């Protein structure tokens, strides 16, 4: 099954959606710390397919999310990463809409030794499915906004979107 891709305009700039074998494998901002490579590579080896079922569902759910009508995503996901990265990304999906968690809290939830927050941060920064695997909900221990592959302005936008009272149905 070929790699499918689509570009979705959004309030945080264009998003590159990538699916393969019936699952979402990537969602990248442009620009993103590493996604310019993805934008070029996937368009060379993949097929633009806005109507591919996973891509179409992702597009629809993201439109609902940005309009304030969706607080959870229901999509088949298949991010590529190490066992550790996959465990961190899975944990991120448990941070509820409108909530945040620190890197240290996630490390503790995973049963890691104190000080493992740096490893969690590195895994968080490698998340290939932004927004849907909500790496934007991870903040510093003191409540500060810390690094985000899509940029801190986008992180602030997403967190503010999720805090607005009128975004809940």
pTM: 0.88
Pair 130, 28: CB distance under 8 Å: yes
- CA separation for the pair 47, 1 (Å, rounded): 11
Q: Closest Cα partner for 116 from 127, 104, 124?
A: 104
- As annotated, the active-site residues are 135
Q: How far apart are the first and last CA of the chain?
A: 37
Per-residue pLDDT of the chain (169 residues; tens, 9 = 90+): 689 999 999 999 999 999 999 999 999 987 655 556 666 777 778 888 999 999 999 999 999 999 999 999 999 999 999 999 999 999 999 999 999 999 889 999 898 877 788 888 889 889 999 999 999 999 888 888 887 878 889 999 999 999 875 444 3
């Amino acid at each position: 099954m070929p790699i499918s891709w689509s570009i979705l305009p959004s309030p945080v700039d264009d998003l590159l959606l990538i699916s393969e074998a019936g699952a979402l494998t990537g969602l990248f901002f442009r620009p993103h710390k590493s996604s310019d490579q993805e934008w070029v590579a996937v368009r060379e080896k993949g097929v633009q397919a806005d109507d591919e079922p996973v891509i179409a569902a992702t597009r629809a759910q993201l439109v609902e999310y940005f309009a304030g009508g969706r607080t959870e995503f229901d999509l088949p996901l298949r991010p590529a990463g190490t066992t550790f990265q996959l465990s961190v990304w899975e944990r991120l999906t448990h941070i509820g809409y409108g909530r945040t968690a620190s890197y240290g809290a996630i490390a503790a939830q995973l049963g890691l030794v104190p000080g493992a927050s740096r490893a969690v941060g590195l895994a968080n920064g490698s998340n290939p499915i932004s927004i849907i695997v909500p790496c934007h909900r991870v903040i510093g221990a003191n409540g500060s906004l810390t690094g985000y592959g899509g940029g801190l302005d986008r992180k602030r936008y997403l967190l503010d979107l999720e805090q607005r009272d009128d975004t809940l149905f």
